Amino acid sequence: MKWAIAIQEYEDYLLLERGFARNSIEAYRRDVLLLEQFVTMKGYEVMPEEIKPFVIEQLMIWLSELGLAATSQSRILSGLKGFYKFLFIESYITIDPTLLLEGPKTSRHLPDTLSFEEIEAILKQIDLSEPLGVRNRAIIELLYASGMRVSELTSLRISSLFLDLGYIRVIGKGDKERLIPVGADAIRFMQQYLKHIRPQLPLKKGFEDIVFLNRRGADLTRVMIFLIVKDLAALAGIEKTVSPHTFRHSFATHLLEGGADLMVIKDLLGHESITTTELYTHLDTEYLRNAILKFHPRNQNQ
């Protein structure tokens, strides 16, 4: 069974039988595509029903070595488990290769935050004389300017851009929409990319409305965005663990430090609960100390 056929049947199953939202289906599709890409990269030359547990284990090890967060690894494994459960239900396989696999243990910890100077250092590593350099600059600028999830960025559509008004429309978890204001620098590089670079790239059928394309004219994967960010951080000499999520966390933290209301940050990030937002608002003790000294009434006039 070819990968493309298996993936299409899985998408139909999630839509028609499970009633999943389009955004959720897209996330599951990307998980299976990631496995297919890994299999191709390793030269295993196997079809979906021929995958053995060790192949998926190797994929998870590779993702871990890349530095992908444990929560992201667990989510990808969950997506693959769903795919192979479908193949088992439909009798394409008799043994589920994911049945005994467990994801990495996750803990609720705060990712590193980049300072504004570190973000500037990363941006300076991008070669704007290269066409894809302009694309990558637009990606980094947008990640930091909007705080959007990497999955939201890879699925971002041209029809959701309102750059002349300074806004973009993002489809988040559960197909929930939110409008995010975007700053001048991000808009400038987005416009450069859309006007001068994207038209030069090949365009595969079905990706006409996708904003960020790869060299082959299809959408960029989350792992590809991760590698772009990781390489730029290394070039900038930053020793922290940097991922696309780091820009999301930095976006929220810098807004809070600048005085933004926590509920505003919650809405910009697309969180259901304020408790989730609070995980993104870790500030060092010196900042908190200064805030208390400045604003607490018992410290006034001292």
Question: Longest C-alpha distance within the chain, in Å?
Answer: 76
Out of 30, 135, 248, 266, pick the active-site residue. Answer: 248
245 is catalytic: yes
CA distance 66 to 56: 15
How many CA atoms lie less than 13 Å away from 166 in the CB half-sphere?
A: 5
271 is catalytic: yes
Q: Mention every residue, 6+ apart, whose C-beta is less than 8 A from residue 177.
A: 169, 170, 171
10 is catalytic: no
Out of 173, 178, 204, 230, pick the active-site residue. Answer: 173
Tokens 């663990």 sit at which residue? 241
CA distance 266 to 270: 6
Q: How far apart are the first and last CA of the chain?
A: 75
CA distance 58 to 64: 10
CA distance 123 to 151: 21
The answer to whether 66 touches 226, Cβ cutoff 8 Å, is yes
CA distance 122 to 98: 38
Q: Mention every residue, 6+ apart, whose C-beta is less than 8 A from residue 174.
A: 21, 23, 24
44 is catalytic: no
Out of 30, 149, 198, 222, pick the active-site residue. Answer: 149
Torsion angles phi and psi, residue 210, rounded to 5: -80, 135
The answer to whether 249 touches 110, Cβ cutoff 8 Å, is yes
Question: Which structure tokens are listed for 276?
Answer: 């989730």
Q: Which residues participate in catalysis according to the annotation?
A: 149, 173, 245, 248, 271, 280
